[in-house]
Amino acid sequence: MQTTFPLQIGAIGNVQDLSRTWTGKVSLAVGATAFVALCAHISFPLYFTPVPVTLQTMAVILVGLVLGPSLGAAAMLLYLAEGAMGLPVFSPHGLGGIAQLLGPTAGYLFSYPLAAAAAGSVVRAVRVGQSKLAAAVLAGICASVFFFAMGAGWFAHLFHLNFVAACRLSVVPFLPGEVLKIAAAATTYASLNRGHRS
């Protein structure tokens, strides 16, 4: 039986095959939401900010890279809908459900469809030699701009802070980890592409 989970070795070919049918697209989107939900539960709170460290942004970047802009964004919209319905897909360090979509991390969450679309668009538009790695890194950086701009913007609004103060609490502490997450997502995507070509 063919798997619908997009991150298995050789999955780029599977994704291309599955994305040709409506049922395949639904399967890929549901699998992507499960992957992001799993990464959301790898979560560590920080004492100085209500924004926890999670692997969600890495997952969103990888979903965008693998599924492409349209399906990646659709999967992330489905993820937000699942969370709004009360399914346990968000980080456990939040209130869950609609409350989490109005809380301190709401800006990050609402950036996910745009970030996935950006990652998928950039990696398909940019050509850097024969390797997909450099294009995937650039795509991850573009996606992260959405994460941090929307995350800090909402944080500033919610807590009545200026943007610089909001960035100190919701962006700066997460930059080193984001570099590692971009590298992990880009390396995984490039490896999947190499496996598909071979």
Are 4 and 18 within 8 A, CB to CB? yes
Q: How many whole angstroms from its chain centre is CA 126? A: 19
| CA pair distance 160, 135, nearest whole angstrom | 37
What pLDDT score was predicted for residue 195?
59
Asked if residues 45 and 52 have their Cβ atoms less than 8 Å apart, the reply is yes
**Confidence at residue 150, expressed as pLDDT on a 0 to 100 scale:** 98
Share of the chain above pLDDT 90, in %: 78
pLDDT at residue 18, rounded to an integer? 74
Annotate the chain with three-state secondary structure: CCCCCCCCCCHHHHHHHHCCCHHHHHHHHHHHHHHHHHHHCCEEEECCEEEEEECHHHHHHHHHHHHCHHHHHHHHHHHHHHHHCCCCCCCCCCCCHHHHCCCCCHHHHHHHHHHHHHHHHHHHHCCCCCCCHHHHHHHHHHHHHHHHHHHHHHHHHHHCCCHHHHHHHHCHHHHHHHHHHHHHHHHHHHHHHHHHHC
Q: What is the largest CA-CA distance in the chain?
A: 53
Residues of the chain below pLDDT 50: 1-10, 198
What is the predicted pLDDT for the residue at 5?
A: 45
- The rounded distance, in Å, linking the Cα atoms of 77 and 180 is 25
Predicted model pTM:
0.90
pLDDT confidence of residue 13: 60
Percent of the chain with pLDDT over 70: 90
Distance of alpha carbon 172 from the chain centroid:
19
pLDDT of amino acid 11: 56
Q: Among 137, 112, 115, which residue's Cα sits nearest to residue 126?
A: 137
Residue 47 neighbours by CB under 8 Å, 6+ apart: none
CATH fit for domain 11-197, picks 1.10.10.60, 1.25.60.10, 1.10.20.60, 1.10.1760.20: 1.10.1760.20
Tokens of 154: 């909402």
pLDDT at 160: 96
